[in-house]
Amino acid sequence: MKLSSILLASTLAFSLFALQGCGGGGAKVSSSVTTTTMGEELQDLETSYNKGLLTEDEYKTARKAILKRYQ
């Protein structure tokens, strides 16, 4: 009786450890939260461009990305 209880407990413990790695399937889940509005982002981008911190190409690319994100 004692031996069967020990074997049962051992089997259960091994099963739990073996199944522990089966969750999720390796899927990457991400989320993002912004506290700025599209207008604020565009104003900040334009300010950076006017200060010479961005090239015209960088400005246009970033502007398109912002507009696309809010569609």
Integer angstrom CA distances of residue 7 from 11, 12, 14, 39, 48: 6, 8, 10, 66, 68
Of residues 42, 32, 35, the one with CA closest to residue 63? 42
Summarised one tens digit per residue, pLDDT across range 14-46 is: 665 655 655 556 678 888 787 899 999 999 999
Residues 6+ apart with CB under 8 A from 27: none
Summarised one tens digit per residue, pLDDT across range 51-71 is: 999 999 999 999 999 999 988
The pLDDT, as a whole number, for residue 27 is 76
